[in-house]
Structure 1
């Protein structure tokens, strides 16, 4: 398959980040031939290998046309943006998060892609809830609700035995919703911490 045709097909489907399986399905090539073709395009700097089996179109990636939150969702799935990244997004903390932080049901992982750090913290699958799907630049992004981002953050301060940020701005949050999310975790120290901060 010619690069120009393949590139247009991916852009037409709004799929600038894709798996090897998706690439093979779109190209119609068998596994070995498709994998070799993808490898060639990576060497030619037309594609960027984000991790084993996940690729991005280099042009849109270099021009900032692929939101970092979308890359975070695709890099390690199922996951959603939460913790410091979501708190910063909602202006619940004054600073910008250093790394893109997400919550997932897989083991905790860290990735570095194009000088951006992606950090994934693990929770039980039943706690992988409390997120909404937002649109950014035409891409669907899974992002924790404000209250869930706070509960996720407080939960990991207990797990990591660190102090919660004093600069958390919790005004206007739905306490009942926070208590509901916290009850899923069955972490005895979480409810008193929420009561103290709210």
Structure 2
């Protein structure tokens, strides 16, 4: 039977998992920011006045990511409540415990196999599989959404320059003509 850490409630476990997921996503965003900043310093246009006001507020990214991960938790808890409600047993498991087990199973990888087994013991194999699938799709959607939103925020100054493929194609064609004339 899967057990929580001895000094931890299901809510505390969920809090810790949410905090860890937020930190992981924030680290991924910060690492991408560092790579972009490093590449940007080597660009001739780095000092262009139109691009001087690029966003550099990691605390706002931390806030946005935290909100998205907490939203994922709330939706996962709702899925767990739905699954527990479907049970015909007179003694249904605590939905918060079910949510903690599915979150552990989703975020813990192979090492969290016992959480998946404990989930199946509490809500049945089909319910556990259904909940893991729904929770997994939800997790992927939220992580993709966070990363996409953060990428779009960083690309906004470039998009504001309103440079499209047409001028680039014209420049490449002009360069080809110049190279042929040499």
Larger Rg: 2
Verify same fold: TM over 0.5: no
Q: Please identify which structure carries the higher helix content.
A: 2
Normalising by the residue count of structure 1, what TM-score does the alignment of the two structures yield?
0.24
Q: Using CA pairs below 8 Å that are at least 6 residues apart, which structure has the higher relative contact order?
A: 2
TM-score norm. by structure 2 comes to 0.25
- Which has more strand, going by share of residues? 1
